[in-house]
Amino acid sequence: MLIGLAACTPGAIQPTLTSTVPLPTAPAETPIPLASPVLPTTPPRMILVSQSSPWQDRVANWLRSRLGAQGWQIEIQPDLHAANLGAEVAGVILLTPSSDYSDFIAQHPDLRFIFIGEAPLPEASNLTQILFSADNLYFLAGYLSVLIAPDFRAGGLFPPNSETALQAFRNGAYYLCGRCVPAYGPIVTFPVTTTLSLNAPADEWQAALAELNKNRLETLFVSPEVLTPELQDHLATTGWGILTTESPQDAPSNWAVALTFDLEQGLEAAWQVETEQKQPTTVIVPLKLQTINPQWLTPGRQRLAEQVMQELQKGWIYPLTPP
């Protein structure tokens, strides 16, 4: 009864059961560091500006073999505009002799430029120049023409208005033999030269060759501007040792040697300066010999020619100064 009365007594507070067992807690987790986000990287770009230059393929092939394996993007553009120069552009190669980008180069001092051509551009702190020396090539052509001729009887075919090329050609011959006078008649001073109009018809170059051969030619250098397929086919039937600046695909037996520029070596030398020193420089493209016919250019004569090539490259020989 007392219990019942107590339960019915107003104002009584009912007890709350409270568990004394602690609630389990989750084990502390070791924080995992957040990885840095991988940002996409844009490969560097090299822009080759070329307007159908005859050297375009060789420069592009060198760029792909030298830089393509390193992930560079190689682009060929006919012209250069500031809108095409993004932050990923690492350099520009100018292969456009008809355009002057001097102002453009000056307006982009933080961008490296490489110019390839014959006439140099004004010097700039961000410009490296790779220059062809036609004078060196024609000097070597004259030297080789009389070097491989048994009696100095060498000739040359040139386009009109080639006074500088003719002078270098003659100086190269004189460098070897002074007054290149043969041992038997007709007695004239070699080399003998003549000019031929571009794309001359057959009767014109036939007459020019006949005039030269009055002096009993043994070798003939043909400038690339006047060498047509028809003329090349005719030269293959002569007994002369033929020298050119390009190698024919199927060189006839009388093709003696082709003289050309070692552009790839010039590019490599300029690139080393660009990457290692980052300072302006001028590289003269060295010469090289191709399609060597040992019956005309024997190993001993080839060594003599290579020595002259080295001296031209080092500037020890001035091709337009008479020996």
98-136 pLDDT per residue, tens: 677 888 899 998 899 999 999 888 899 999 999 999 999
Percent of the chain's residues with pLDDT above 70: 86
Which has more confidence, 275 or 234? 234
> Could you give the CA distance from residue 83 to residue 97 in angstroms, rounded to a whole number?
22
Q: With a cut of 90, say whether residue 11 has pLDDT above it.
A: no
Q: Residue 138: in which H helix or E strand, if any?
A: helix 134-148
> Could you give the CA distance from residue 113 to residue 95 in angstroms, rounded to a whole number?
11
For the chain, helix, strand, coil in percent to 5 are 35, 20, 45
Give the pLDDT of residue 22.
41
Single pTM value for the model: 0.82
Q: With a cut of 90, say whether residue 29 has pLDDT above it.
A: no
Mean of the pLDDT values across residues 278-293? 90
Q: With a cut of 90, say whether residue 84 has pLDDT above it.
A: no
Instruction: Share the mean pLDDT of the chain.
Output: 85
Give the pLDDT of residue 82.
83
**Sequence letter at residue 76:** I
Q: With a cut of 70, say whether residue 32 has pLDDT above it.
A: no
Give the pLDDT of residue 101.
85
List 131's β-bridge partners, or say none: 117, 284
At residue 231's C-alpha, the angle toward residues 182 and 196, to 5°, is 70
Give the pLDDT of residue 290.
93
- Mean pLDDT is lowest, of 117-121, 147-151, 207-211, for 117-121
CA-based nearest residue to 55, from 20, 21, 97, 13:
97
> Could you give the CA distance from residue 228 to residue 234 in angstroms, rounded to a whole number?
10
**Are the C-beta atoms of 117 and 97 separated by less than 8 Å?**
yes
Mean of the pLDDT values across residues 52-74? 89
Q: At what angle do helices 134-148 and 163-177 cross, to 10 degrees?
A: 40
Give the pLDDT of residue 146.
97
CA-based nearest residue to 244, from 217, 220, 218, 208:
220
Give the pLDDT of residue 30.
46
Give the pLDDT of residue 98.
62
Give the pLDDT of residue 41.
62
**Are the C-beta atoms of 41 and 72 separated by less than 8 Å?**
no
